[in-house]
Amino acid sequence: MSSTATPLAPTATPAERRDELFDELAELTGQRNAIDGRIVDIIAEIDGDHLCYATGCRSISALVAWKTGIAPRNADTVVAIAHRVDEFPRCVAGLREGRLSLDQVGVIAEHAADGSDDHYADLAAVATVTQLRTAVKLEPRPDHAPKPEPPPPAFVKTDIPGEDHVTWKIRLPRADAATFEAAHQSHLDALITDWKRDRENNPRTGDQAPPMPTTIDAFMSLVEAGWDTDVARRPHGQRTTVVVHVDADKPAAALHLGPLLSDDERRELLCDATCEVWFQRHGQTIGAGRTTRTVSRRLRRVLEHRDRCCVVPGCGATRGLHAHHLVHWEDGGPTEPSNLVLLCPFHHRLHHRGGITLTGPAEHLVVTDADGRELTGASLARPPTTPPPDVPPCPGPLGERAQWWWYTPFEPPPTTDN
Ligand SMILES: [Zn+2]
Ligand SMILES: [Zn+2]
């Protein structure tokens, strides 16, 4: 076991040097495969016993990527194998014993059919990752039921260059078509009513008179109405508006025309500003409170510039972020940068339900999990203190040209269900 290549005599030929380096590569590859095998076993144990939920991680893949510092795609591979450890005992044993690589077993775990462990364990002993991918693709896909004819395209756009119009052809199911027709007719009626009123109040003749609204005008009116509503609803391009009624004397709130909110839900909703809040005392509405806790567009830009993504270590989400008050505005927390951090909806909810704790100020934020341990963005990687796994060197797959016409794909055994 050499952790450093033994320097050869300066007279070594290039071929000797290469062989020496290849030997070391084989040894390290075997060890790395065995280590990956152990990592897979650890992840299978964490996943099987649901040990990841206290960490504030949104998925087991996210946990693997975070704790090991590997790319999300590679973390998916580890998790795919961990999920199917019991279905592919021979393939995973090959990984643990250093003979197969994580990527080889990953292709099998991600795509191969149930019951194919023996087939692929034999094949993986000689096949590269690319060859395994091809082999898995050659598996007959189960098609018990005759496939229904794919429906014809529902939305066809014809845009011929040089023409001054574009044609859409839209196919809607009956119920949706009825909705569209009702909305379209209502817009057409409204436009014609307006047009008639204008003509009566302001009779004009000839070229001055606007033409009677057409079905196309009604269609555009429908589109514009929908668009306007959407813009009004999401001025900051984020959450939809929720209307909440808050009792000014006691911490209690209810959704507009809806149920009473739990403490967690109330604090979560009121944290970000894009909900509309109405205060009331003794059942009487005393005004809409939209001032102190409103995160203005400008303030939001400041937060986006500072935080960039969800502030929970290891998260990295950038879409649909909420501005969270570290000291809740109900408790007198100010709406200013040092009391605000950006959280993804998942972590925002998790925090208000007590899954993670965030302690300010924002510049020195401390995030702890449900057990009170501080979360940091760093991976767990550190210099090893134990010797590497004692496994034989792994020279890698043969890399022979695959003779696919002689290859028999894995065929699931016929099912006997009588
Ligand atoms: Zn919050
Ligand atoms: Zn997050």
State the burial class of residue 74 (Cβ atoms within 10 Å of its Cβ: 0-12, 13-18, 19+).
middle
Cα distances (angstroms) measured from residue 95 to each of 172, 235, 325, 345, 394 = 51, 52, 47, 38, 10
Distance in Å, CA 369 to ligand 1 centroid: 16
What is the CA(312)–ligand 2 centre distance, in A? Answer: 5
Closest-approaching ligand to the CA atom of 341: 1
Which of 46-50, 243-247, 360-364 has the highest mean predicted lDDT (pLDDT)? Answer: 360-364
Please tell me the predicted confidence (pLDDT) of residue 160: 83
pLDDT digits (tens, 9 = 90+) for 285-297: 655 554 445 677 7
Q: In the prediction, which pLDDT does 232 show?
A: 63
Is the pLDDT at 259 greater than 80, yes or no?
no
Averaged pLDDT, 368-396: 84
Q: Which ligand is nearest to the CA of 325?
A: 1
Residue burial 376-403, b: 16+ Cβ < 10 Å; e: rest? eeeeeeeeeeeeebebebbebbeeeebe
The whole-number pLDDT of residue 334 equals 82
Strand pairing category for 357-359 and 366-368: antiparallel
Query: What span, in angstroms and rounded, lies between the C-alpha atoms of 313 and 368?
Result: 10
- In the structure, ligand 2 is a single-atom ion and the residues with CB under 5 Å from it are 310, 312, 315, 317, 344, 347
**With pLDDT > 70 as the criterion, what percentage of the chain qualifies?**
78
Ligand 1 center to 394 CA (angstroms): 51
The answer to whether the beta carbons of residues 112 and 411 sit under 8 Å apart is: no
| Nearest ligand for residue 367 CA | 2
- The 10s digit of each residue's pLDDT in 103-134 is 999 999 999 988 999 999 999 988 889 989 99
Instruction: Give the whole-angstrom CA distance, residue 295 versus residue 191.
Output: 39
> How far is the centre of ligand 2, averaged over its atoms, from the C-alpha of 311 (Å)?
7
Mean pLDDT, the chain, integer: 80
Do the strands 243-247 and 276-281 form a parallel or antiparallel pair, or are they unpaired?
parallel
Check residues 221 and 205 and name the one with the higher pLDDT: 221
Q: Which pLDDT belongs to residue 335? A: 81
Q: Give me the residue label for tokens 């005392």.
A: 281
Of all ligands present, the nearest one to the C-alpha of 265 is: 1
- 146 Cα to the center of ligand 2, angstroms: 43
For the cut 90, the answer to whether the pLDDT of residue 156 exceeds it is no
Alpha carbon of 321 to ligand 2 centroid (Å): 8
Cα-Cα-Cα-Cα torsion 312, 315, 317, 322, nearest 10 degrees, comes to -20
User: Ligand 1 centre from 313 Cα, in Å?
Assistant: 17
Q: Is the pLDDT of residue 238 over 50?
A: no
